[in-house]
Structure 1
Amino acid sequence: MIAVRYTRNLFLRSLCVVYLTAFLSFYIQIPGLYGDNGVLPASSVLENSKHKTLSAKVHYQPTLLWLAPYLGLDTNCALDVLALLGAFLAFTGFISQKFCTIPLFAGLWSLYFSLFQVGQVFVTNGYDELLLETGFLAIFVAPLLPGRRKGSRDSPSDLITLWLVRWLLFRFLLTTGLTKLMSGCPSWWSLKALSRYFEVMPLPTSLSWYAHHLPEWFLKVTQVFTNVCEIGLPFLFFLPIRSVRITGFFLQAFLQICIALTGNFGFSNVLVMTLLLSLLDDQLFYRRRSSSTWSLVGKMVNVVVHGVLIYWVVQLYSLKLNNGQIDSDIAFTKSQFDMVLSRALTYTIYFGLVSLTTTILSALSAALFDHQGNKLLATLSTIFYAAIACLIFSSSTVPLASLHSASNSTVNPMVRSAYNRLHKLHAVNQYGLFNKMPGVSGRSEIVFEGAKEADGPWQEINFLFKPGNVNSTLPQVAPHAPQLDWQMYWAAYSTYDQQPWLLSFAHRILSYTPEVMTLIDFRESPFRHSPPKYLRAVLYNYQYTPWSKRNQNGWWTRQKVSEYMPVFSEDSQFLNDYLKARNLLPTLSKDKVNPVWRRILITIRFLMIHLEATLLHWSVITAGLAFICTSTRPPLQYKR
């Protein structure tokens, strides 16, 4: 049987790191986003429930926050407790493998799901759903207890549970790649998307400016590589040849590292790399005797497989070497792509079914013949996990089939019903990010301006992580996920009256709400001592400065497009009526809080608020790594 115990353990501990960053990021932003004085108070979500009993409330909005009154907490304090408890559990799993058990991951998933339920518009980027689905699978990947069954030796069911992780990775990458071409966006079809991508992505980094100025032919080839990594390479994840999977791991990891360096996507890139660990096995980490003949054959097959892949890439993208450059162009039409897709999605589902069946049979064979422990228990466990895998796999075919009407019409109603139930828990989700490249030229940015008088002068209010001041470079903020800055990007492609949170944010600035002011660059704000009496928003078009003028004109050039939001004051009738109708005006919590709880939570937040968000994340991760390095014993030889 293929040894995957170490790979499984590495996956679980890496997922703990992702959970840790996610909980910390949520905790940092709770007062400004979800507190009673925040932009979208969580209490307003819970107050919408008309139900009386606890069970009815949980059915209406499944979250642990309903337990707050029973623990002597209000919603604000309960949010802090859930986030801190989640960070603590994730940290324990990160520093010690013995804590990586089913109870731990069930707790982590429940805590993050509870926070997700009140996240509203700030958790709609897709990555939170990917974390929830990965965390749900981790419950089945993890051992029940430390040092028992799966914790002490390889378990045949590990092959099945890690296959589910691999299938999630496959679905995420394939859907992300296909939706770009399915959208019909001219930028993706002309291979010029990356010529604009680094300029118009939600939160660029300082390296994005340099990536934007790479030669156009190189960016087109890079897009070809990205398309192949998302659409072609994922099919090789399921080949029974380890050298092919390992090659796929390194290619995909390289892509994720490049994305992480040139864009602030929170914990998403680390999460995808955690999923990539399912492609590995223990032989990569431990010295182990293996047949040199089979190893050589595997490497030869690997070369042939990727050679065939490269051949088809050259044909489909018309790759040609021309005067030291590589010319590229999509050689198939949209109608041809649609025709192939209508059939390929069904075949893809059958391909997954065959791979899962083979994996289950291999696991059963290992349980019956190769397992060194209790064979009956191993067989029953394998059958149980096989049944779970079949349920999750069948449900996951629904979002995959829904990509095209031809395959969507073939979905069994019972399978669709199972998907709907699991999707309500975000245990199976639909993905597809950045399918259309926004903006014709440059990026749209909302710039808030405040004034003491109605006729000005108007002074700009900058954010911490999104473009504003044209002379300021943007920081590398990941793995922290600044949800307000991220959502400001999408608001620029809509109108202000369609964004209730945006008007709520404007009201909080006018009333100088301290919790919200910490989410913007208030220390450099002209209104850091007193709030503006009037506020408006202007829409600008931002573009990177040319390479030749970087040292003269800063990082950005911008041009005013139009007024985005009219002038409002704190006592504006429209603004107050709009927020009151949506229960978004600041309120005082009516729930009594245990004074001991309040004192503890205030002390913790006081200690953490003095650390910048990114510094806090890396400080905690570094502390965990230091603990691991000082407590880890020399590795033992891996024996079979």
Structure 2
Amino acid sequence: MDAWFAPGGWLGWFGAENYDAARFVLQRGIAAIYLVAFVAALRQFPALLGERGLLPVPRLLARVPLKGVPTLFRFGYTDRRLRVMCWVGIALAATVIVGLPQAGPPWLPMIAFLAMYGLYLSLATVGQVFYGFGWESLLLEAGFLAAFLGSDQVPTPIIVIFAFRWLAFRVEFGAGLIKIRGDSVWRDLTALYYHHETQPMPGPLSWYFHHLPKPLHKVEVAANHVVQLVVPFLLFAPQPVATWAAAAVIATQAWLLISGNFAWLNWLTMLIAFAAVDDGVLSALIPTLAPSDATRPTPAAFAVVVTIVGLLTLALSYWPARNLISRHQRMNASFNRWHLVGAYGAFGSITRRRHEIVVEGTTAADPGSAEWCEYVFAGKPGPVDRRPRQFAPYHLRLDWGMWFLGLGSTSQYAWFDPFLDRLLAADPATLRLLKDDPFDGERPAWVRARVFAYRYSTPVERRRTGAWWVRREITELARPRRLAP
């Protein structure tokens, strides 16, 4: 049977020799994102969701039956177990990045990626609102598919390459449709009048992007519609058209990457789109990257497994395909507990004004006459003279939660009161999530939270004051509070 899958055999089409570069980029790139995700979990998960976290996983396990839920924590959670899982995930990702599993038989990278997928799935399924992002499912699905790309000993399976293109199609086309259907500013091309100023976590260049001429903003939106609504179909076209379609997706994602902080969403989308890049086209651009002329047969057992995965992907595609054509399209939806073959999309609506929660504390006994000091978060806007920083692909989950809180999201209230109590207790794990603790680890007497309206400073204001933001107080979110005696 192995002869069937050899080059020139009946099923020689199974392996695509001209996608070795795509496999190289997909495997190592996706593994790098997993490494970042596990590092972020190692640093943040205990404080947010651990035994003494803001939304403790043990409390979730006691309250919600997890029968059938795919997580290793079904049998109990401890911070130590979480850290072991993260370190295992980091080690596995590192081996793939340097290419160790790829040097062996095809089942070695399969084991590595399925292990990373299973470990991260265990975190995401108990992560509650702190893991309620579409790119969690995107990373899980990409990691699952990467498990079946094989090793350097076998040709790249064309079935998996097309599964990745289908994933890229759903990410891009789903995002394009949700924009057109969701908000008039996408239809009248004015979305970027607001987006760079109101996005969850601006980057160091976002101020400059916001102040680009408005006609250019309209051109950007129109170009985005073309790339998200037309170009995705070309990912399935013959070469070199598919490669140029992938280049268009990668270019627009790179534009988004430098204009904001969206965790690993843009990075991962660029990697997934690379599945459409052909070795021949790439080598024509970069002559030193000559396509491989090696003839490598595909083991029958591996081919059978990949075919089953392809059929599974096809069967599960019914739900996201139906979602795409639905008038009530869902954004970032999973249709099964394994987070496979889901629906994706981002910014179906654009926030017109930015509201930020400013958390402050004081050591004074009387809060009425106190001098209040601001807690500075790592990524979200705070002091007006602080320039936003670049964190992506690293994911600052607390900062994102604060953005949703500023939008009035009631799902965030469950952790905010415990967060204020942790500040009052000067909890070291919680304080490590922040950039600056104004009390240097000492307990404040009181804390409070106020809501401010933020806008970017104008170029004139920026030159005069040095401030990146202008803010004014709107209301009080949490009145001064202290720990109960």
TM-score bracket for the superposition, by shorter chain length? 0.7 to 0.9
| Aligned counterpart for 1:539 among listed residues 431, 451, 464 | 451
8 Å Cα contact 2:153/2:296 also seen in 1 = no
Q: Which residue of 1 aligns with 2:317?
A: 396
CA contact (8 A) 2:401 2:412 kept: no
Q: 2:484 aligns with which of 540, 561, 571?
A: 571
Contact kept, 8 Å, 1:33 with 1:39, in 2: the verdict is yes
| 2:94 equivalent to 1:91 | yes
Paired with 1:81 and 1:201, the residues of 2 have a C-alpha distance of: 34
Partners in 1 of 2:214 and 2:328 — Cα distance? Answer: 37
Q: CA deviation at 1:81?
A: 0.7
Number of aligned residue pairs: give it: 450
Which residue does the alignment assign to 1:44? 59
Distance verdict in 2 for CA 1:244–1:403, change over 3 Å = closer
SS at match of 2:340: coil
Report the equivalent of 2:237: 239
Match of 1:413 in 2: none
Structure 1 residue 33 and structure 2 residue 33: aligned? no
**Residue deviations 1:333-361, cap 9 Å, x none?**
xxxxxxxxxxxxxxxxxxxxxxxxxxxxx
Q: How far does residue 428 in structure 1 lie from its aligned partner after superposition? A: 2.3
Does the 8 Å CA contact 1:203/1:264 hold for their aligned counterparts?
yes
State the match for 2:128 in structure 1.
120
Separation (CA, whole Å) in 2 of partners of 1:287 and 1:497: 51
| Number of the residue aligned with 1:110 | 118
SS in 2 for 1:165: helix
In 2: Cα distance, 1:404 partner to 1:530 partner: 55
Separation of aligned partners in 1, 2:351 and 2:207? 18
- 2:222 paired residue number: 224
Distance in 1, Cα, partners of 2:314 & 2:236: 14
Distance 2:447 2:118 in 1: 40
Aligned to 2:279: 282
Counterpart mapping for 1:609-620 below 5 A: none
Structure 1: segments with no counterpart, 5+ residues: 51-56, 69-73, 144-150, 289-369, 409-418, 573-640
Q: CA deviation at 1:49?
A: 5.3
Q: CA, structure 1 residues 481+372, in 2 after alignment: closer, same or farther (shift >3 Å)?
A: closer
Distance 1:406 1:513, change over 3 A: closer
In 1, the alpha carbon distance for the partners of 2:194 and 2:327 equals 33
**Given the superposition, is the C-alpha separation of residues 569 and 404 from structure 1 closer, same or farther in structure 2, using an over 3 Å criterion?**
farther
Q: Secondary structure at the match of 1:424?
A: coil
Q: 1:353 corresponds to which residue?
A: none
CA shift digits 1:152-192 (9 cap, x unpaired): 2425xx11111001101101111111001111x22212211
Please name the residue that 2:37 is paired with.
Answer: 22
Distance 2:47 2:296 in 1: 55
**Preserved CA contact (<8 Å) 2:101 2:109:** yes
- Show the 5 A alignment for 1:180-259: 180-183=179-182, 185-240=183-238, 242-259=239-256
Residue correspondence of structure 1 range 444-483 to structure 2 within 5 A: 444-451=355-362, 452=364, 453-455=366-368, 456-483=370-397
> What is the CA–CA distance in structure 1 between the aligned matches of 2:411 and 2:393, rounded to whole Å?
31
- Supply the distance in 1 between the matched residues of 2:32 and 2:98 (Cα, whole angstroms): 9
Trace 1:390-429 onto structure 2 (pairs within 5 A). 390-405=311-326, 423-429=336-342
Q: Is residue 511–residue 531 contact of structure 1 (8 Å, CA) maintained in 2?
A: yes
Contact 2:155 2:296 in 1 (8 A): no
Q: Distance in 1 between matches of 2:234 and 2:304?
A: 26
Q: Specify whether residues 405 and 281 from structure 1 end up closer, same or farther in structure 2 by C-alpha distance, changes over 3 A only.
A: closer
Asked if structure 2 preserves the Cα contact closer than 8 Å seen for 1:5 and 1:153, the reply is: no
Deviations 1:165-222 (A, max 9, x none): 1101101111111001111x22212211111111000110120000000000001100
> How far apart, in 2, do the equivalents of 1:565 and 1:243 lie?
58
Deviation at 1:400, TM superposition (A): 2.9
Contact 1:49 1:60 in 2 (8 A): no
Measured after TM superposition, the shift of residue 270 of structure 1 is 1.6
SS at match of 1:474: coil
Separation in structure 2 between the aligned mates of residue 201 and residue 287 of structure 1, nearest angstrom: 39
For 1:529 and 1:83, how far apart are their aligned partners in 2?
27
Kept in 2, the 8 Å contact 1:447–1:468? The answer is yes
Q: Report the counterpart of residue 169 of structure 2 in structure 1.
A: 170
1:500 to 414, 425, 448: 414
Contact in 2 for aligned 1:31/1:516 (Cα 8 Å): no
1:323 maps to what in 2? Answer: none
* Aligned-residue identity in percent: 30
From the CA coordinates, give the structure whose radius of gyration is larger: 1
In 1, are the aligned partners of 2:360 and 2:373 still within 8 Å (CA)? yes
What SS is found at the alignment partner of 1:499?
helix
The residue matched to 1:37 in structure 2 has which SS? coil
Which of 408, 428, 440 lines up with 1:528 in the alignment? 440
CA-based RMSD: 2.5
Counterpart of 1:331?
none
For the 8 Å contact 1:226–1:255, the answer to whether it is kept is yes
Q: Distance in 1 between matches of 2:474 and 2:327?
A: 42
Distance change (3 Å), C-alpha of 1:286 and 1:188: closer
- The alpha-carbon distance between structure 1 residues 371 and 464, as it changes in their structure 2 partners (threshold 3 A), is closer
TM-score (norm 2): 0.86
Task: Please state how far the C-alpha of 1:83 moved relative to its aligned partner.
Answer: 0.8
Deviations 1:425-482 (A, max 9, x none): 111222221110013xx31101112233231333322211110100110111122110
User: In structure 1, what is the Cα distance between the partners aligned to 2:426 and 2:204?
Assistant: 31
Q: Could you say which residue in structure 2 is the equivalent of 1:13?
A: 28
User: Could you say which residue in structure 1 is the equivalent of 2:145?
Assistant: 137
Name the CA distance, whole Å, in 2 between partners of 1:521 and 1:14: 29
Q: CA deviation at 1:372?
A: 6.6
Q: Which of 75, 79, 92 is 1:76 aligned to?
A: 79
CA distance in 2 between counterparts of 1:460 and 1:14 reads: 38
Conserved 8 A contact 1:34-1:41: yes
Query: TM-score of the superposition, structure 1-length normalised?
Result: 0.66
Name the structure 2 match of 1:560.
473
Question: CA 1:432/1:406 → structure 2, altered by over 3 Å: closer, same or farther?
Answer: closer
Secondary structure (helix, strand or coil) at the match of 1:164 reads: helix
Q: Which amino acid in 1 is paired with 2:417?
A: L
